[in-house]
Amino acid sequence: EAGVAQSPRYKIIEKRQSVAFWCNPISGHATLYWYQQILGQGPKLLIQFQNNGVVDDSQLPKDRFSAERLKGVDSTLKIQPAKLEDSAVYLCASSHGDRSTDTQYFGPGTRLTVL
């Protein structure tokens, strides 16, 4: 079974530029998550989708971050404009269901460096 795919793996941009990350979840998984992991910390949930609807985006900085999950499959996360403090690894995860007991499967992440 293929895992969660993410691209790009690495991205370096200047502050105030825009960047987009892509995620392809495990086939059949209805729930998709985007996490931000700053160096030395645990992952922090940014947004959770159930199919193509948003379940939780309470920690998404909506003035600069946006995410969509068209057709309930792939998802993109965008930052516009980027700030220095956005430097982090952005992790995508998917799970079959939307309960906290459903195992989340993580992709390899995109490491973003903002200069």
- The answer to whether the CB of 92 falls within 8 A of the CB of 75 is yes
For residue 108, what are its two tokens? 């390899």
Q: Does 31 bind other proteins (CB under 8 A)?
A: yes
Piece of the chain touching other proteins by CB under 8 A; list 7-15, 64-72, 77-85, 96-104: 96-104
Other C-beta atoms closer than 10 Å to the C-beta of 84 total: 9
Chosen residue from 43, 46, 77, 90 binding other proteins by CB under 8 A? 43
Q: Does 27 bind other proteins (CB under 8 A)?
A: no
Q: How far is the CB of 108 from other proteins (least distance, A)?
A: 5
- Would you call 101 exposed, middle or buried from its count of C-beta atoms within 10 A (0-12, 13-18, 19+)? exposed
Chosen residue from 109, 110, 112, 114 binding other proteins by CB under 8 A? 109
